[in-house]
Amino acid sequence: MPFLMKYLSGQAMGRFPVWMMRQAGRYLPKYRAIRAKHSFWEMATQPEIAAEVSLLPIQEIPVDAIIFFSDILTMPYGLGLPITMKESVGPITEIPLRTQDQFKIFEGYDPSQHTRFVGEALSLIKKQIPNEMTLLGFAGAPWTVGSYLIEGQSNRNFEQIKSWMHNDPASLACCLETLGDATVRYLEYQHQSGAHMVQLFDTWIGHMPKNFFEDHYSKILNKMFFKLKERGVPAIYFTKHSSHLTPLFSSLPVSGFSVDELVSLTELDKQFPRNVFFQGNLDPVLLLKGTEGQVRLKTRLLVQEARSLQRHVIMNLAHGILPGTPVENARAFVQEARSLWI
Ligand code: 1CP
């Protein structure tokens, strides 16, 4: 069993496991060199390239887990939706989904047919990593993926998805549930293809009103995490800037919860059941702009805080590593976290 999984299973490992969200792309010079030769989708859909890029961070930095290179829009892309990646904008859905009928496409989603390249990339990575390394799968959560599919393009006001929510919350919920069911099949397939654990990214959940969460979304997430648990797939829920919902997150049947930089692990400790591990929560801006000394100091403080909790903690950033982050700062975070005892 890999180091991180052994630690989570309760074995005394002596130090906290560590990895960084979005470590596979963006900030590594070698990533940018490969990206210059291929489009994003070429990289994500060719298993050899996806595996090569996924393996880059472990050659530079001694992380304990590897996340496979892909995107939260890969599943809808594999199903045939016209999604393009626009430089410094992000994913664009060329024909936005605006009706319940359009969401029916997810009912026909078959992971090993539409996203076979993901299974192949995971198997290739699994063959090449040492036994101590944990392999992580991931997908976007229905609200976050739904927002890209419905908006068409990243929109700070979430105008389309929110007006749908105001006009007909039940039909939006129905679409997100269909998307959620497909996402569970996708994550299960990743687990079968070699991922030890999976992470569900709900980056834009902070924009969801509490009443929509209570009335509709909580049911969708509960069903998703319940199914994953039932099928033996350990799952981390990632959210960001969504403190208004934290008390509602704490009853989800997740294995782990990813904590952002606006709250402290100690604060959240009181709110979550003991058996849910935490992951987090160094501010990625510190890695981008801070000195190596600052990064090491804040990492030591984070380790100290984690030691004081009666709960498992995975050292990580609060959200994805930012483009332009100096490799030395990323390395300093990981090395410092690994050098300190629990
Ligand atoms: O370590 C990694 O980079 C692994 C792969 C990975 C992951 C986990 C990518 C590659 N994307 C993601 C997740 C992702 N994608 C999230 C959730 C996590 C987070 O909040 O960071 C989100 C919201 C996206 C959407 C997305 N895809 C954006 C953000 C746009 C916006 O609305 O603000 C962007 C720029 C992309 C494209 C993308 N995905 C991944 C990379 C390396 C890139 C850049 C593509 C390029 O090289 O041009």
SS3 content of the chain, % helix, strand, coil (to 5): 50, 15, 35
Percent of the chain with pLDDT over 70: 100
Kindly give, in sequence order, each residue whose CB lies less than 8 Å from that of residue 168, ignoring residues fewer than 6 positions away: none
Measured distance CA(140)–CA(202) in Å, rounded: 6
Query: Is 329 part of any domain?
Result: yes
Query: Is 309 part of any domain?
Result: yes
| Domain extent for 334 | 1-23+259-342
Length of the chain (residues):
342
Residue ranges in the chain whose pLDDT is less than 50 = none
Ligand 1 atom nearest the C-alpha of 25 is: 3
Residue 315: φ, ψ to 5°: -70, 130
Protein residues whose CB sits closer than 6 Å to any atom of ligand 1: 22-26, 35, 40, 67, 69-72, 85, 87, 90-91, 138, 154, 201, 203, 319-320
Q: What is the reported pLDDT for 202? A: 98
Could you read off the pLDDT of 305-316 as tens digits, one per residue? 999 999 999 999
Residue ranges in the chain assigned as alpha helix (H)? 3-8, 29-35, 40-45, 47-60, 74-78, 100-103, 111-114, 116-128, 142-151, 159-167, 169-192, 210-212, 218-230, 246-249, 265-269, 284-289, 292-307, 327-339
Could you read off the pLDDT of 187-229 as tens digits, one per residue? 999 999 999 999 999 999 999 999 999 999 999 999 999 999 9
Could you read off the pLDDT of 31-77 as tens digits, one per residue? 999 999 999 999 999 999 999 999 999 999 999 999 999 999 999 99
Q: What is the reported pLDDT for 26? A: 84
Q: Cα 70 to chain center, whole Å?
A: 11
Tokens representing residue 60 in the block: 């530079």
The number of folded domains in the chain is: 1
Query: Is 157 part of any domain?
Result: no
Query: Is 295 part of any domain?
Result: yes
Tokens representing residue 241 in the block: 């800037």
Measured distance CA(69)–CA(191) in Å, rounded: 15
Tokens representing residue 40 in the block: 């994003």
Q: Distance, CA 13 to ligand 1 centroid (Å)?
A: 32
Q: Which residue's alpha carbon is at the smallest distance from atom 29 of ligand 1?
A: 90
Query: Is 45 part of any domain?
Result: no
Query: Is 170 part of any domain?
Result: no
Q: What is the reported pLDDT for 88? A: 85
